[in-house]
Amino acid sequence: MVRISPLSGFPEWLPEGRAVERAVLETIQHTFELHGFAGIATRAVEPIEQLLSKGETSKEVYVLRRLQAEEGEEGASEKSLGLHFDLTVPFARYVLENAGRLAFPFKRYQIQSVWRGERPQEGRFREFTQADIDIVGDGTLPFHAEVEVPVVIAEVFARLAQLGVPPVRIHVNNRKVAQGFYEGLGLSDVDGVLRSIDKLDKIGPERVSALLQEQNGASAEQAQACLDLAAITGTDAGIADRVLELGVRTPLLDEGLDELVRLVEAAGRRVPGAVVADLKIARGLDYYTGSVYETTLVGHEQLGSICSGGRYDSLASDGRTTYPGVGMSIGVTRLVSRLLSADIARASRPVPTAVLVAVTDDESRPASDAVAALLRGRGIPADVAPSAAKFGKQIKFADRRGIPYVWFPGDEAHQVKDIRSGDQISADPALWSPPEEDLWPRVTAAMERS
């Protein structure tokens, strides 16, 4: 007997899990479109040099090469291609290639698989689905786009709450605040300080203070000031007052604080409680130029960020025109994996079928097929029993699949049975419909079904 060894990091959901994933994806797409984002798709591969241009290491990129290609053969150049590890790099290329045919500001969403060769663990996969939104400008991009993006994400999760998804907190920071503050302290290694601050949750303030002094040239007083800045959170103008109380003042810091306050106050009016300033957020600040976002599920913070992003002043550039952008990416697979492993959301049934049409005997199968065709023609998902077994066995067949109704064809009258309640009534396939809640599988919070 051949034993199949599973490949870690490449999730394959059972039908019930796939139903949950599909409901999540449909909710995300619907919300994006409500806000005017247009859907695009890009190719799965990009030139290796393009993939490495955003700071990813070569260890994380899967190289694409034809199996029989050898040096000197036609097709050997395929070795210079790799599977994309996110959707930002291909989107930047897409903008440059299509700039003359796009209307700016361009609002796009993209839901596709990406591949990343890192060690699989909880919430981290080698193949996974991302759902991105970005707003891109031609030369300039107004600040209100930095408010709109996290607001849209907050609305996505408000709608996902109907599926049982916990609420989220979108933690925001601003590159200008961090850079202006560190430079005001006299620290020149801004990116290095950011990398050290990013380790706060993992190693704690004492070890981060030591890193700042040993690796980033900070004095003990400067290191403490960096930690004091990182401790500040809030949802109103009070965050600016608390930062300025630390005794540092630069034009760049003032600009960043103004933007940060405007962001949290505007978001607070539109999606109350969802967005909070958190000045310890440092991941990604070394390549973002304005607002930066990280999102956690309330009660599942140990999972890490399930949605992140920020503003690039140069998402793409052709040497003549620069295209600034701001966006966020939802880790759909990470989210769905938690919904399934923690039994947060469930599908009402694993198959789409609402009605199983019974088969009396092999000669009457065409009659059962005709009933199913009538039901499908009216938008009712129907299947026909695979064999003319005893009706009890056909009912068990439906029950194992969660199919709520079994249809019994007759020469003069038809019967349909709700196998959950046992109720059975006469019905006409040209007129009968199941209740709306039974028509298609529904995904709800698991606690609603317990």
- Please state the residue numbers annotated as binding site: 86-88, 116, 130, 134, 283, 287-288
Reported as half-sphere exposure (CB side, CA atoms, 13 A), residue 315 has a value of 31
Binding-site members for L-histidine are 86-88, 116, 130, 134, 283, 287-288
Q: Which of 368, 351, 350 is nearest to 359 (CA)?
A: 368
Reported as half-sphere exposure (CB side, CA atoms, 13 A), residue 108 has a value of 21
- Distance, in Å, from the CA atom of 330 to the CA atom of 168, rounded to the nearest integer, reads 12
Question: What's the token pair of residue 281?
Answer: 């957020």
**Is the link from the previous residue into 441 a cis peptide, with omega within 30 of 0?**
no
Determine how β-strand 127-136 pairs with β-strand 106-115: antiparallel
Question: What's the token pair of residue 276?
Answer: 């909070």
79 and 60 in contact (C-beta within 8 Å)?
no
- Distance, in Å, from the CA atom of 153 to the CA atom of 158, rounded to the nearest integer, reads 9
HEC per residue, 311-327: EEEEEEECCCCEEEEEE
431 and 375 in contact (C-beta within 8 Å)?
no
